[in-house]
Chain A
Amino acid sequence: MIDAIYFDGQSTRRQPVTVVMHKRVVAMRGEGVKQSHRLSRLRVSERLEHAPRILYLPDGGRIHISDPQLDKLLAANGYREPRVVRWQRNWLLSLLALASVLTLLLSAYQWGLPWAADQAALHLPASLEQKVGDGQLELIDASFMSPSELDPVVQARLTRLFSQLKQPRGEQTAYRLEFRRSHIGPNALALPNGVIVMTDELVKLADSDEAVLGVLGHELGHVQRRHALRRLLQALGVGVVVNLWIGDVSSALAAVPALLLDQKYSRDFERESDQYAIDMMQANGLPLTPMAELFEKMGKAGAQRGGAASHRHDDGTADRRRHAEADDEDDAATEDEKGGKGEAEPLEYFSSHPSDAERIARLRAADAGRKFDSKFDSRQ
């Protein structure tokens, strides 16, 4: 016999009662209250450590029971706690659940999300990419690019040369080459609508057409693999998960981990595009060393810009601009700004691109043991 409080569901009156449970029948008796019910007809609330349990009667009344003996009585009368409740009450099982959650999240980050974004990118209408890309081009033109001042002959030559190159697997990826003068130094970027923006500064910095073609091949890789749209989708996915995880704290603060997590995807795409450039150049019998040299030069140019402290400051703002954009989510254009990250290698986790050294070594390795007849040495 255990003590309980009965509420009739019609008023807030507290009525002390005693409850007996026997042969799967619950009997309750108090001053002016006498009821009995089959246990199977009652709903039993979940067991909590510090709160009374509630037996819900079919007529809307309920019994609150704080006596810890209730659990034994219920068990003796054939009541089984729901599986989830038993799970929640067991520390070992809950920690196992935690481990599973972490494993699931990590694998989703490593494989699941990229795969899902890839699938989604394949099935989303091209008009979506078109619109997103058009919007980004407008934004870029308005904020940090102006019309190209490059010799139209050079523009035409580069456009023609690149259009004559065979794509690595004979695919016919549609793209459109645009030249722009940039306010942020040598750069090239690919937009979701297939537009490849090449800056005058990059063309001027390059010693040969091969170097520019290599960079264009890299950007075409972004276009071919639909990196911009995929990264947009992946950033969305990361954002949703991070928000679920620490969301109520602050959605503004949740942006930081989301941004950091997004960097890995960016690096993965850069590597993939580098490989695409290598494949494309090799398919056309072109060397990759000029592209590697261009990267080296860009690194040095960055290092030379002004005194050590002030140039780094510049980098900071340029980089910050890039990350601010990534934050805006509307610009997944993968920029190849190699404005120099200073002499020290940045920590990989915080960087949107693989290290220069890694990329250059890879490009040079691609040329090892191959011979080239110089095709475009007649550069003005």
Chain B
Amino acid sequence: MTETSTLRLEATPAAPLAGSGDAVHGPAHAASARREAAATAAPAAKLEPRRFEFTGSGSEYFRIWVVNLLLTIVTVGVYSAWAKVRRLQYFYRNTCVAGDIFDYHGNPKAILKGRILALGLLVAYKIAAELSTFAALTVGLVLVAIMPWLLARAFRFKLANSSYRGLRFRFHGTVAQAYRMLILFPVILAFTGLFAWSVFASFDSRPRIGLLVMAVVALLVVLMATVPLAHYLLKRYQHDNAYFGQSPFFFHAGPGSFFKVYAKSMAVASLGGIPVAIFGFLTGDLFRYLSTTPFGWLFKILYGMASAYASYLVLRAYLESRIQNLVWNHTELADLHFESSVSARKLFWIHASNLALIMLTLGLYKPFATVRLVRYRLASLALVPQGDLDEFFSDQTVDDAGAAGQEAGEFFDIDIAL
């Protein structure tokens, strides 16, 4: 892996072509042609944003999904690595901007290796959780300790296997950086959690209300302080270390804007409580009646989950849209920048209706739901070129990013959207 600690502001077209020994076709003349093209194209800067677009369809993805599912089941999960490559290829190759598509090149065998590792970790954790809290805690701590490493590997694998116009992306974030930037959050959280837990545990029969409140408040304060910061550090690590060919991405949002988004979403969440309370007041009688029926317990569980889920969906839609906008509006690639305008309301509608349809169809709507979400999210993203999109060059270093981290990372549900 190459150490590229200095950020290059310009893509330097000087020495990109030294690599691959096959000088038979193309490359030799391409350099000069490119320089000419750059010279002529640069003044005619096109400033209108080029929208991202998703061209795939739910019905086509449905068939891919079903076949993937069957083969995965029949091979007891082994095929899932190939299925993943097929799925990602479908989504990448249907993602189009400025007339060209993305592509995915992940090697299924590498992904399979990662999946086996992830499964091992998960099983270890599950078994430990069954045995004792101490064992679970130990395994949990080990997982937290290796998580930054896994994440670094996952980002590397994902980007190194993505390409646009025949040029690969790459990720140069180091594992050491990952530890510096990402370990803070889990450590602080773990300690606060331990503190809150010990307060609870020491008063298990008759808790003193003051201490309980203190423990909860402490937990909340730490969450409020660390979550936005951790999110910021993660995004910075992810976006500031990414390259397209040899051109670096820049991430120039500050932690302050993350705090602002989180504070606003807290406000949204508490405001969202008002309609929920009104609804609860209006349907109180109906609820009381339904809970006396023989399967009232089921109804109560469903009601509780539905109301909890409704507020979660509102919060999630808000947070997701604002974070995506924040992150992409503050990300640049050489002299290009991005525009993101996801609307929280539309995202909420998509999430909620997707969920309802998935429930109604017992899961069969899932592929359509996925396509719908991706289509909307991509449609709200645009690329604003300052010059010519032809001016990116390859970095000839070979990046053999392993799949291990990628898979383990996804398995533990920390795959970061977009």
Contacts and interface: CB of A to CB of B under 8 A. Distances in A.
B34 A316 contact: no
B254 interface: no
Contacts of B74: 104
A54 B56 contact: no
B246 to A, nearest CB: 10
A7 interface: yes
Interface in B117-147: 126-127, 129-132
B39 interface: no
B292 interface: yes
Contacts of A12: 164-167, 245, 389-393
A293 interface: no
A249 B86 contact: no
Contact of B22 (A49, A59, A95, A252): A59
B130 A62 contact: no
Interface stretch (B93-101, B148-156, B222-230): B93-101
A371 interface: no
Nearest to A343: B294
Contact of A128 (B89, B101, B130): B130
B263 interface: no
A253 B30 CA distance: 55
Interface string A32-67: 111100000000011011111010001111101000
B63 A246 contact: no
B354 interface: yes
Interface string B333-349: 00000000000000000
Given A12-B166, A13-B34, A51-B94, A35 B390 contact: no
A313 B291 contact: yes
A69 interface: no
Contacts of A142: 204
Interface string A3-16: 00101111111100
B305 A253 contact: yes
Decide if the interface of chain A is mainly helix, strand, loop or mixed: mixed
A50 B27 contact: no
Interface string A74-107: 0000000000100111110011011011001100
Contact of A313 (B86, B292, B369, B391): B292
B300 A98 contact: no
B29 interface: yes
Given A88-B64, A135-B132, A5 B355 contact: no
Nearest to B133: A135
Contact of B126 (A58, A90, A97, A236): A236
Interface residues of A, number: 74
Nearest to B167: A12
Interface string A334-347: 00000001101111
Contact of B130 (A132, A319, A323): A132
A333 to B, nearest CB: 14
A84 B166 contact: no
B294 A346 contact: yes
A154 to B, nearest CB: 29
A311 to B, nearest CB: 10
A52 B89 CA distance: 12
A11 B167 contact: yes
A14 B63 contact: no
Contacts of B167: 7, 9-12
Given A51-B101, A316-B296, A14 B165 contact: yes
B132 A320 contact: no
Contacts of B63: 88-91, 94
A222 interface: no
A3 B292 CA distance: 70
Contacts of A135: 132
Contact of B56 (A50, A101, A323): A50
Given A48-B60, A246-B358, A104 B94 contact: no
A256 B394 contact: no
Contact of A10 (B16, B60, B358): B16
B176 interface: no
A141 interface: no
Contact of A8 (B27, B292, B296): B27
Interface of A: 5, 7-14, 32-35, 45-46, 48-52, 54, 58-62, 64, 84, 87-91, 94-95, 97-98, 100-101, 104-105, 128, 131-132, 135, 142, 232, 236, 245-246, 248-253, 256, 259, 309, 312-313, 315-316, 319-320, 323, 330, 341-342, 344-347, 350
12 contacts: A7-B165, A10-B30, A11-B245, A11-B390, A13-B33, A33-B25, A50-B56, A58-B22, A95-B66, A128-B127, A256-B301, A323-B301
Interface of B: 16-17, 20, 22, 24-27, 29-30, 33-34, 37, 55-57, 60, 62-64, 66-67, 69-71, 73-74, 86, 89-90, 93-94, 96, 99-101, 103, 126-127, 129-132, 164-167, 204, 245, 291-298, 300-302, 305, 308-309, 312, 354-355, 358, 363-364, 366, 369-370, 389-394, 413
Give 6 nearest A-B pairs by CB, closest first.
A7-B166, A94-B63, A50-B55, A12-B165, A319-B297, A12-B392
Given A12-B245, A95-B66, A97-B70, 4 more contacts: A9-B394, A52-B93, A59-B24, A101-B70
